């Protein structure tokens, strides 16, 4: 007799299983059903034992598991699926159908989530978690289903190992180590219930200790210490509940105090620096970005002041002064929004002026003096030298040069006038006047055709011709004047000769006192009226 079909039913009468009986044993294909009539399982029997592929289903009809058996025992691999039919687990199994070996787990989109080692159905060995790009994010160790000490975290972007810690009692407990992308150790500490607790030590990429920080229950509590590469203490800061105390110190590598910091407000700190001898070196106010605010004062080790200035957002504003160590002023200047503005002066160790410069918004303008240049003063326009006042003396705010080589000059920090004896195109000897402005050019284009103007010499208005000239290759333009008529030319000459001391000359509304002593000698040495 051949195989005989058999049907088993639920107590309610619905079909539970269909199979074949041969030689009093199940042989051949079989099917099992849910009470709803939906297929639950299908496979084959041989001599009363499942043999070959066995497939089980969810009640919604989607596949739940696929496995292979031989004489009732599982062999090779098994795969399980969620209710939507998506693969969840796949891997080798033992004879009881329990996972045994390397098992892969996937999410609903089919992306690998975990790669785990199982033994007899429980985790045993290394489990690795993956991100959506297939990079390892964390690694766990298990023994007989119990998480063990070593767990490894990986950087989500680079895939490099980021941290190793001890996993005990369902959490991070015990020592941990952190790494940079090159595998160098950058930190060591301990966890208690997943929170840093105890001393956390940081290292540079060469393995040199840089910082030790005390933690309690995940927050900084106690003295944080920063170190020099030699291991000497660089800085000590007190923390309470993750908040830095108002005062802290830094130290020289040899151990002496270097700086004291006191918290003010708005994330600003008052800093006092010291020499190794313990004497004050400077004090200033800085913010967290090391930008200066307010007054900065520095001292020599002998206690005398070295420098003093005011800052706003790391930019100098107002007066700035430095001193020699004997107490005499070395430099004085003024700043506006970080740019030199106004008169800047330098003095030698004895307090004698050696340099004087005028600035406008960081640009050299007006009068400038350098002692090494034989009492020569320079007049600057737009940062460029316009004229030099040789053998000059200062009278109040005005510098006056003596008649020399047929010329003289008078200047203050705003204007300069240069007076020279020279020959005209017609060959006659005449007096020329040149006018300069410190902060701008008085004209902008050189002219060959003169304009008719009026200048004032002494108390007399005189018709004059005016040209716009350029100073050599410099970006400086100035006006040049000469009397227009023979009577005017004669008046200028005679008035200079007849006046003692200085003669008032007015150009473009600016009046200057021009020295007259020495004019006659210069006029005559130049050839009189015929050069």
End-to-end alpha carbon distance in the chain: 152
* DSSP summary character for residue 372: G
Is residue 155 scored above 90 in pLDDT? no
Quickly list DSSP for 206-235.
TS-EEEEEEEETTEE-EEEEEE-TTS-EEE
Structural domain contains residue 287: yes
Sign of the CA dihedral running 395, 399, 401, 407: negative
285-323 pLDDT tens trace:
998 888 999 999 999 999 999 999 999 999 999 999 999
| Residues 335, 311: Cα–Cα separation, whole Å | 10
Average pLDDT over residues 216-244: 95
Q: How far is CA 524 from the centre of its chain?
A: 68
Q: Are residues 190 and 232 in the same domain?
A: yes
What is the reported pLDDT for 375? Answer: 67
SS3 373: helix
Residue from 16, 56, 55 nearest 36 by CA: 16
117-136 pLDDT tens trace:
999 999 998 988 888 888 88
Other CB atoms within 10 Å distance of the CB of residue 513: 15
Average pLDDT over residues 423-428: 76
What is the reported pLDDT for 160? Answer: 82
Which position has the higher pLDDT, 113 or 146?
113
Lowest mean pLDDT among 54-58, 228-232, 447-451, 483-487: 447-451
Q: Are residues 284 and 245 in the same domain?
A: no
Q: What are phi and psi of 202, to 5 degrees?
A: -105, 150
Average pLDDT over residues 350-372: 87
Q: What are phi and psi of 302, to 5 degrees?
A: -80, 0
Q: Are residues 211 and 272 in the same domain?
A: no
Q: Are residues 305 and 219 in the same domain?
A: no
Tokens 């595998």 map to which residue? Answer: 183
Among 223, 255, 287, identify where a domain stops. 255
Lowest mean pLDDT among 81-85, 379-383, 470-474: 470-474
Is residue 328 scored above 50 in pLDDT? yes
Structural domain contains residue 446: yes
Which position has the higher pLDDT, 244 or 454?
454
457-467 pLDDT tens trace:
999 999 999 99
What is the reported pLDDT for 515? Answer: 94
| Residues 223, 196: Cα–Cα separation, whole Å | 15
CATH code at 268? 2.20.110
Among 317, 351, 385, identify where a domain stops. 351
Share of the chain above pLDDT 90, in %: 68
Structural domain contains residue 192: yes
Average pLDDT over residues 341-369: 90
Q: Are residues 520 and 407 in the same domain?
A: yes
| Residues 96, 359: Cα–Cα separation, whole Å | 94
What is the reported pLDDT for 274? Answer: 98
| Residues 67, 48: Cα–Cα separation, whole Å | 18
Is residue 168 scored above 80 in pLDDT? no
Q: Are residues 522 and 473 in the same domain?
A: yes
Lowest mean pLDDT among 68-77, 149-158, 191-200, 227-236: 149-158
Average pLDDT over residues 481-502: 95
Bridge partners, residue 140, by sequence: 127
Structural domain contains residue 413: yes
What is the reported pLDDT for 146? Answer: 78
269-280 pLDDT tens trace:
899 999 999 999
Average pLDDT over residues 47-52: 95
365-374, 411-420, 468-477: range with highest mean pLDDT: 411-420
Q: Are residues 522 and 414 in the same domain?
A: yes
Bridge partners, residue 518, by sequence: none
- What domain range is 330 assigned to? 261-351
Structural domain contains residue 420: yes
Structural domain contains residue 4: no
| Residues 442, 510: Cα–Cα separation, whole Å | 12
Q: Are residues 404 and 524 in the same domain?
A: yes
Is residue 196 scored above 70 in pLDDT? yes
Structural domain contains residue 181: yes
Average pLDDT over residues 77-105: 95
| Residues 389, 372: Cα–Cα separation, whole Å | 14
CATH code at 212? 2.20.110.10
Which position has the higher pLDDT, 362 or 265?
362
Structural domain contains residue 463: yes
* DSSP summary character for residue 208: -
Q: Are residues 330 and 460 in the same domain?
A: no
Say if CB 265 and CB 278 are below 8 A apart.
no
pLDDT band for position 354 (50/70/90)? confident
Average pLDDT over residues 155-162: 75
| Residues 241, 12: Cα–Cα separation, whole Å | 68
| Residues 423, 404: Cα–Cα separation, whole Å | 16
What is the reported pLDDT for 241? Answer: 94
Is residue 531 scored above 50 in pLDDT? no
Q: How many domains does the chain have?
A: 3
Please give the mean pLDDT across all residues of the chain: 91
Share of the chain above pLDDT 70, in %: 97
Q: Are residues 237 and 266 in the same domain?
A: no
Among 351, 376, 407, identify where a domain stops. 351
Is residue 1 scored above 70 in pLDDT? no
SS3 475: coil
pLDDT band for position 493 (50/70/90)? very high
Other CB atoms within 10 Å distance of the CB of residue 262: 14
pLDDT band for position 530 (50/70/90)? very low
Is residue 505 scored above 70 in pLDDT? yes
pLDDT band for position 475 (50/70/90)? confident
Residue from 192, 135, 187 nearest 166 by CA: 192
Structure tokens given for 348: 């030698």
* DSSP summary character for residue 131: -
User: What sections of 294-372 are H helices per DSSP?
Assistant: none
Structure tokens given for 509: 């509304």
Is residue 156 scored above 70 in pLDDT? no
Q: Are residues 247 and 218 in the same domain?
A: yes
Q: Are residues 490 and 415 in the same domain?
A: yes
Quickly list DSSP for 435-458.
EEESSS-S-SS--SSPEEEEEEET
């Amino acid at each position: 007799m051949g195989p005989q079909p058999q049907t088993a039913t639920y107590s309610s009468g619905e079909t539970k299983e269909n199979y074949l009986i041969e030689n009093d044993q199940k042989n051949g294909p079989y099917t099992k059903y849910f009470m709803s009539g939906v297929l639950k399982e299908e496979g084959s029997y041989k001599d009363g034992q499942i043999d070959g592929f066995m497939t089980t289903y969810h009640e919604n009809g989607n596949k739940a598991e696929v496995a292979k058996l031989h004489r009732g025992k599982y062999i090779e691999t098994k795969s399980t699926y969620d209710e939507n039919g998506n693969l969840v687990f796949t891997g080798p199994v033992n004879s009881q159908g329990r996972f045994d070996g390397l098992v892969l787990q996937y999410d609903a989109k089919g992306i690998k989530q975990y790669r785990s080692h199982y033994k007899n159905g429980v985790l045993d060995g290394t489990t690795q978690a993956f991100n959506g790009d297939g990079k390892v994010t964390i690694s766990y160790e298990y023994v007989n289903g119990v998480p063990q000490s070593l767990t490894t975290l990986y950087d989500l972007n680079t895939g490099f190992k980021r941290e190793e810690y001890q996993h005990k009692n369902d959490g991070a407990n015990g020592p941990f180590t952190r790494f940079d992308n090159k595998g160098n150790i950058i930190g060591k500490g301990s966890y208690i219930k997943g929170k840093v607790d105890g001393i956390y030590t940081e290292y540079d990429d060469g393995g040199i200790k840089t910082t030790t920080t005390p933690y309690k229950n995940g927050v900084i509590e106690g003295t944080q210490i920063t170190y020099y590469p030699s291991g000497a203490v660089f800085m000590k800061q007190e923390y309470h509940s993750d908040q830095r105390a108002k005062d802290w110190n830094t130290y020289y590598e040899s151990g002496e105090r270097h700086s004291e910091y006191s918290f003010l407000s708005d994330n600003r700190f008052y800093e006092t620096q010291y020499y190794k001898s313990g004497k004050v070196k400077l004090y200033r106010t800085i913010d967290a970005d090391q930008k200066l605010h307010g007054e900065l004062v520095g001292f020599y080790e002998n206690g005398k002041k070295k420098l003093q200035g005011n800052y706003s957002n790391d930019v100098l504003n107002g007066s700035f002064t430095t001193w020699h160590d004997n107490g005499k002023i070395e430099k004085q200047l003024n700043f506006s929004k970080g740019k030199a503005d106004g008169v800047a002066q330098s003095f030698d160790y004895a307090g004698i002026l050696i340099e004087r410069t005028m600035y406008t918004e960081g640009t050299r303008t007006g009068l400038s003096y350098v002692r090494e240049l034989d009492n020569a003063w320079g007049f600057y326009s737009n940062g460029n030298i316009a004229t030099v006042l040789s053998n000059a003396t200062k009278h109040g705010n005005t510098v006056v040069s003596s008649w020399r080589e047929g010329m003289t000059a008078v200047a203050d920090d705003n204007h300069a006038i240069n007076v020279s004896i020279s020959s005209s195109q017609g060959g006659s000897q005449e007096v020329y006047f040149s006018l300069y402005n410190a902060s701008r050019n008085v004209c902008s284009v050189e002219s060959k055709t003169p304009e008719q103007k009026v200048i004032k010499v002494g108390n007399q208005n005189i018709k004059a011709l005016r040209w716009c000239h350029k100073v050599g290759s410099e970006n400086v333009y100035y006006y040049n004047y000469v009397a227009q008529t023979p009577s005017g030319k004669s008046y200028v000459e005679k008035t200079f000769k007849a006046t003692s001391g200085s003669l008032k000359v007015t150009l473009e509304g600016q009046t200057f006192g021009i020295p007259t002593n020495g004019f006659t000698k210069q006029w005559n040495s130049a050839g009189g009226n015929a050069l």
